[in-house]
Amino acid sequence: MRYLPITTENPFSGLHWAKRKIKLSAALLSVLLLACGEGQPNAVLELYVLNSFGDGVANAEVAIFRTREDWLNETNPVKPPKKTAQNGVVRFVGLEPGEYYINAVADSLNNWEGKFRTVVKSIGSFYVNTEFTVINKNNSSLLAGPGGKRWRITEVTLNAQPFPTGVPACVRDNLNIFFKSNKFIRDEGPTKCSPTDPQRLEGTWRFNPTGTDLIFDFGNEVEVWKIIDISRNLLRFQLTFGAAVVVVSLRPVE
């Protein structure tokens, strides 16, 4: 076998071959970076959706938003919503670094009262950010909705007896609207009990730490409802005026 001498004239000799390899490597790197979308959003958010026992929740619907306002209203998701796999994992790829707000829902479970904010980092190509969020049944999701869940009074009792005069029409047509953002609106509806009543009263709502009281803040007035029952289709609360105990039932309006 005849070998070519290693000389500067030999294109395959040491220096020339090293330079050639460098040029080939640079060209290959350029192709790879182009294929990977260099300069494009490439961070990954790997999200584990867990129940209160720490188990992964399958088929939970997950959406991510860039602002808290969008999260509250559930508008402008960054990517189409996705379902979690059997182990409760879902991935969003091609993300820009920054804050994201997570909305995870499975039947009556959600993460509204848990962790819903995360920060996504981009360290090199396709950096994977791992986050955990716990979904559980909570009163907030039963009571409120992103665009406002509307409730109407259907029954009122006085000392465990039907209200003597029944529920007036000017009360029955009122709308009590609860927003995911803790905003509250009471709308008088088509009729008013008094001409001087404002058409809309706006404030905020929240539960006390034990979840037994529903507290409204209207700025110059605070109102407290003592909860008896709360579900997706019923809200029943109690008001006490001396010896008089008034129980009010509300149902959601479709």
Banded pLDDT at 167 (limits 50, 70, 90): confident
State if pTM tops 0.95.
no
The Cα 70–Cα 47 span in angstroms is: 19
Whether the pLDDT of residue 157 is over 90: the answer is yes
Contact by Cβ (8 Å): 214, 224? yes
More confident residue, 104 or 27: 104
Banded pLDDT at 116 (limits 50, 70, 90): very high
Across all residues in the chain, what is the average pLDDT? 85
Q: What is the pLDDT at residue 125?
A: 67
Task: Go through the domains of the chain in sequence order and give each one's CATH number.
Answer: 43-137 (2.60.40.1120), 143-252 (2.40.128.270)
Contact by Cβ (8 Å): 176, 150? yes
Contact by Cβ (8 Å): 175, 151? yes
What average pLDDT does this structure show over 115-131?
88
